[in-house]
Amino acid sequence: MRRADFFTFLVRSLRLLASEQPQAHDALVATIARMQACLHADGVARWIRFDGFGWTLNSCGQYTDLDVAFDMKTILDLVDGQITLEQAIAQERLRVRGSSDAIERFYHALLIYLEALIRSSGAIDLLNELRMSMPFA
C-alpha cells in the first residue's frame, strides 16, 4: 500500500470537522486566522491556511509565523492518546518554532483539532485508512 500523505489526510480531516463539528471548526479557524504556518510532515513542507472558502495548501515561502515539524507516527500517537502534546514537544517528536504568540495560538488550535477529531464519527474511517497506509502500522 502506498505511503500516506499527511496533507491529504489533514485537508480531509479539516473538511470532516467542518461538517461534523462546525463549532470546533469555527473555533479552529478563529484561532489560527491570518497565521502563516509551515508544516513539515515526514520531511515534506507545506503552508496551510483557511482562505474563507476552504483550506489551501501551498509550498512554504520564506516568511512564516510558525514552523512545525513532526512525523506521522507522532500524529497518530497524539490522536490515540499514547502521548500528550507536552510529551511530544519534550521528546522533540513535535518541533515548533515561532513567536510566543504564534506558538500559543498553534497549541490551542492543535488541541481544538485533536479534540474535535476524536469526537467526529467519520474520523474512525479516516484514521483507519491512514493507519493502513503507514509502514509502521
All structural domains of the chain, each given as residue ranges with its CATH number in brackets, are: 6-130 (3.30.1050.10)
**What pLDDT score does 76 carry?**
85
Task: Using pLDDT thresholds of 50, 70 and 90, give the confidence band for residue 101.
Answer: very high
Distance of CA 114 to the CA centre of its chain: 8
Alpha carbon dihedral 110, 115, 116, 121, in 10-degree steps, equals 140
Give the Cβ contact number of residue 109 at 10 Å: 20
> How many C-beta neighbours within 10 Å does residue 75 have?
22
Question: Cβ distance 37 to 55 under 8 Å?
Answer: no
21 has pLDDT over 70: yes
Distance CA 80, CA 49 (A): 25
pLDDT in tens, 50-92: 877 788 888 887 788 999 999 988 988 987 889 998 899 999 9
Residue 2's pLDDT is 45
